[in-house]
Every structure is written in C-alpha cells, then in structure tokens.
Amino acid sequence: MNYNEEYKRWLTSATADADVAAELKAIENDPAKIEDAFYRNLAFGTGGLRGTIGAGTNRMNVYTVAKASQGLANYLVANFDAPSVAIGYDSRIKSDVFAKVVASVFAANGVQVNIWPELLPVPTVSFATRYLGTSAGVMVTASHNPSKYNGYKVYGADGCQITTEAAAEILAEIEKLDIFADVKRSDFESGVADGQIKYISEDVLTAFVEEVKKQSLLDDSVKVDKNVAIVYSPLNGTGLKPVLRTLKETGYTNITVVKEQEQPDGNFPTCPYPNPEIKEAMALGMEYAKKCNADLLLATDPDCDRVGIAVKNDAGEYVLLSGNETGMLLLDYVCQRRVAMGTMPKDPVLCKTIVTIDMADRIAADYGVSTVNLLTGFKFIGEQIGRLEKEGKADSYIFGFEESYGYLSGTYVRDKDAVDGAFLICEMFAYYKTQGISLIDKLNSLYEKYGYCLNTLHSYEFDGSAGFAKMQDIMAEFHKGLDTIGGKKVIECQDYSKGLNGLPKSDVLKFMLEGNCSVVVRPSGTEPKLKTYISVSAVNRDTAEKEEQIICDELARKFV
C-alpha cells in the first residue's frame, strides 16, 4: 500500500466523521505523521483490533471499525443460517460511537444485533453471547491501555475469544474489502425501530450477577463478618454498577467508592494508565484507604476484567499484592473451601498461563489438582474450559488465573471476570479476617510451605514503524539462543513458535534457568511492546530481589 496515495484518498473520502477529517487536514504537512497513520492496516488477530484513536488505516476510527465489522459480518453470514451478535462497550473515548457503528454494519448485513443499552464489563459480552445463543460477540474496549487507545474484541459463539483459525478467516474477509466502497451501513435508530437491533434486557445482567453470586464458597456452617471496610475504585470504567450490586446483594455494605474515579471517563484524569497492575493507578485508592482506615482496597480496570488489591501489613501500612500473589491466595482458598464443603470434583483442574507463577502448580498439586499451563491470554483458559465441557468434565474446572490480575472461578463466562474476582477476594478476605488472619499472614504461610518465589514483569515500548521493525529484530536475536542469563545457566529454551505441548504456535520463548528460575520473552499481542517475565526462586525475598535485578539489568541491555 502506498501510504501517501491512501492518505490522499482519505482526504477526499473520509468526510463523514468531523474528527477524522480535521486530523487528516492537520497532518497535511507532516510526512512522519502521515506515514505512521497509513503505513499499514491496523492488525486484526485473535485479540481483534487495538490501536490509538485517530485518522488513518493504522488507527481506531469509524472507518477501520466499520471495515472490520463488515469482514466479520461476511464471515458470520457465510457460516451461520441466522447470524446474530451481542455487542458491548466500555467507558473509553468513542466506545459508544464505535459500538453503534458496529451495530449499524451488522444490521445492514442482515445480522441480528443484540446490544447492551449501557456500558458494562467485557465479561458481560462473553456471558450474553452464550446466554442469548448468538453467533458472535463484539466488545469495544482497549482494556487497561492509556486513554489514547481503543479496541475491538471478538468472541465466538462459545463465548471464548476467537480462535487463530477463525481470526484468519475473518482477516481474509476484511482484506477483500475497500474501506469506503465495500462497507454496508444502516441507520442505527432505524434498526432499533424495525427490530434488527435490539437492546439486551436487564434480565440478562441479573442472570450474570446471579452466576457470579453462585461462586460463593461459604455454606451455613461458616459465619463471617461481612462488615469489613472496603474502598473500591472502578478507575472511571465499567465496574461500578455490577461490582457494587454483587457485593451489596451478598451482604458487603461498608463500601466507599473513590469519588474521582467513580463515574465513566475515557480521559482517566487521575490515572493516565488505568491498569491496577501499575501502582500509580492505585495511588488515589490507597489515599482513600488510609483516610477511611479501610480493611481492603479493590480497583478494577476500565473494562472490568482485571482487579488489583491492597491490604494492611502488621505495621498497619497498605501493601499492594501482585496478580500472582492474589491468584495463589484465591487458588488456595478455593481448594481449601471446596475440600471443606465436599464439592471438590473427582478430577479437579487449575488453568493458568505459562508466564504465571510456577508456585501455583505446587499449591494445586498439594490438593490433588492438575495444572494445565497455557499460552498467555485468558482466551486459552476459556478454550480449555470449552474442551473440558465437550469431554463432559466441565465441573472439573475449579479456577483459572493469569499474572496480569485476571481470575475466574466459574464456567458461566469464558474470559477473566473482575466482578467475580472482586466478589471472591472480598469473601476470602472476610473469611480469614473473621479468624484473625490477614491476607499477608496467609501469603507468608504459603511461602513458608511451598518456598519463596518472585515473579516480575518488565515492558519495553517500541512505537511506530521503526519500533515495530526493531521488536522483530530483537526477537530474532533471542531466537538464536542464550547460554546464560544473569549469570544463571540456561538449561532449556522452550520455543512456542514451534507449537509446543499441543498449543498454537506463538512467538514466545521461555528460558528455563538453573535454580528453578525462568525468563519468558514475548511481543505483546495488543500494544507496541516487548515483555519479559522473570521468575526467581530463592531462600527469601531479599535474595530473590537481588537475583532478579541482575537478570533484569542484563535483559534491559538487549532492548536498547
């Protein structure tokens, strides 16, 4: 594609959206910006689309969203007798606009549209797809990315994010299209009036909340104090309504919401990077927790599929827990309570990703639970749930989690769910607090039993076309192999680009190091970043941190 010619075509054809038209005019004398906006088409894959909002083929705008929807519509019409779709959107800039564009394209192609009438968490789209029996689901979201991003996530009829094969077929349909000449659009309001577009009823949201509530692991024999003081932040996203509703309906009423982050706002004014993995995003919530003398701080990301927490230590200071630490606590709680209640299935299964802490495998094994390690991305956990269901073993799944703060304890959705995560965390916290045990105490007891393990994530950003090329060069160097990392001998290199352990091929390398340590290197599937995951086992935290720093410093030099 000649990006200068495509830019000129957009100048004359992309006139319907005022924001896009104005930006096209504004970059007229800036060749670098024109190149970055048009040097490629925004990539479509198993994660759908994700990119910065703006004008151009490499941006999220009404035209690229409509083209992707036309390709998906063509795929659905070819593969389903009466195709239908469930659509949702989050609080991001233009998410509501893009959702209506998606709906209008599907309606124009004869695809029955079911759309949530308000912004809601991403797992509600997975749920609605299964509950309503639609052919697919679309969620307009960029998850935890900064405000300049938006995205387009696609679910299959099973409620899982689309498979590699389906993504390839949809991409083939998209690539056949001219972005201006081949996209059908109808009027959204007319579609609502004639029934081609239907709003999803409140009953479906109620059904979703009821499924979350069923994940409780308390029975009549256990009494807990649910009057624990909770501070909650939806980080200006979608979690406010479903999280508060679920908690209040299950007896947690002592909840303070972070006012500045309560209402939806795609600009995220108090947390530019609205990701509970990042301590800056939790800072305002920590201030609230201190003022309220809260027992527990919860924060969900904008599309409410990740949840981060902070709790008090023995000195009364608030400590942020990592996704791995919270996941291990939840895993141990789920196993412990299922054993106590007599609900542990015959062949229980834990699902987690290959970059998630290996210590979880040891906890699971102690309870007789098998661990299935999968590629990065909760979609692979969702697919595994589907496989178990087809084998008549859906009840075997007891928990799934990934280090990036994603958790799921049931099979009612096929994606991570922070409504479920927040609910289970509050229940676990109240359960232990009633016994005089803090989550820090419980975590330390796990380390004492299974050995200390430190897992860290480091991201390296590479923007633009030059950055994209550099990322490819760096990965090529890693594929050549390493003898040592941070002074530790490389025992084995697991190259997932070859399709290891029956998993789909993915550009991921896992270096197994001596001393039960490991390093994973992979490109992000949704951002212009390379990510490294470092796992260090040691006698204590201080030693682990020192060894991790040595490894981190050596890896960082390779990314310069």
* pLDDT of 501 higher than 80: no
Structural domain contains residue 116 = yes
Identify whether residues 443 and 490 lie together within a single domain. Answer: no
Identify whether residues 193 and 331 lie together within a single domain. Answer: no
Mean per-residue pLDDT, 21-35: 95
Q: Which of 104, 143, 147, 322 is catalytic?
A: 143
Identify whether residues 226 and 101 lie together within a single domain. Answer: no
Consecutive H or E run containing 86: strand 84-89
Per DSSP, 60 falls in state B
Q: Quick count: other Cβ atoms within 10 Å of Cβ 247?
A: 24
Nearest in space to 326 (alpha carbons), one of 409, 385, 390, 252: 409
Structural domain contains residue 26 = yes
- Tens digits of residue pLDDT in 100-158: 999 999 999 999 999 999 999 999 999 999 999 999 999 999 998 899 999 999 999 99
- Tens digits of residue pLDDT in 72-96: 999 999 999 999 999 999 999 999 9
Give the pLDDT score at 358.
Answer: 86
* pLDDT of 527 higher than 80: no
Per DSSP, 505 falls in state P
Regarding pTM above 0.85, the answer is yes
Structural domain contains residue 205 = no
Q: Distances from the Cα of 205 to the Cαs of 126, 134, 346, 491, in angstroms?
A: 12, 16, 32, 50
Nearest in space to 301 (alpha carbons), one of 405, 155, 161: 405
Structural domain contains residue 206 = no
Identify whether residues 154 and 134 lie together within a single domain. Answer: yes
Mean per-residue pLDDT, 246-251: 98
Instruction: Decide if 84 is catalytic.
Output: no
From edge to edge, which strands make up the β-sheet containing 349-353?
Answer: 370-374, 349-353, 397-402, 406-408
Contact criterion met (CB below 8 Å) for 365 and 319: no
Identify whether residues 429 and 471 lie together within a single domain. Answer: no
Identify whether residues 189 and 229 lie together within a single domain. Answer: no
Give the pLDDT score at 123.
Answer: 98
Query: Is the Cα dihedral 396, 398, 402, 403 positive or negative?
Result: negative
Q: Quick count: other Cβ atoms within 10 Å of Cβ 512?
A: 16
Which of these three, 429, 449, 469, is where a domain ends? 449
Alpha helices, DSSP H, located in 133-239? 164-175, 188-193, 202-213
Give the pLDDT score at 1.
Answer: 66
Identify whether residues 469 and 428 lie together within a single domain. Answer: no
Contact criterion met (CB below 8 Å) for 115 and 88: yes
Contacts of 478 (CB under 8 A, 6+ apart): 509, 521, 558
Which of these three, 449, 483, 509, is where a domain ends? 449
Mean per-residue pLDDT, 149-176: 95
What is the total count of domains within the chain?
3
Q: Average model confidence (pLDDT) for the chain?
A: 95
Domain residue limits at 501: 451-558
Provide the 3-class DSSP secondary structure of residue 77.
helix
Identify whether residues 234 and 326 lie together within a single domain. Answer: yes
The burial of 228, by beta-carbon neighbours within 10 Å (0-12 exposed, 13-18 middle, 19 or more buried), is given as middle
Structural domain contains residue 237 = yes
State how far the Cα of 354 lies from the Cα of 373, in Å rounded to an integer: 5
Which of these three, 449, 464, 498, is where a domain ends? 449
Identify whether residues 179 and 144 lie together within a single domain. Answer: yes
Mean per-residue pLDDT, 21-41: 95
Mean per-residue pLDDT, 508-533: 89
Helix axes 62-79, 164-175, angle to 10 degrees: 120
Identify whether residues 147 and 269 lie together within a single domain. Answer: no
Identify whether residues 179 and 265 lie together within a single domain. Answer: no
Joined tokens for residue 100: 């209506």
Identify whether residues 122 and 226 lie together within a single domain. Answer: no
Q: How remote is the C-alpha of 56 from its chain's centroid?
A: 26
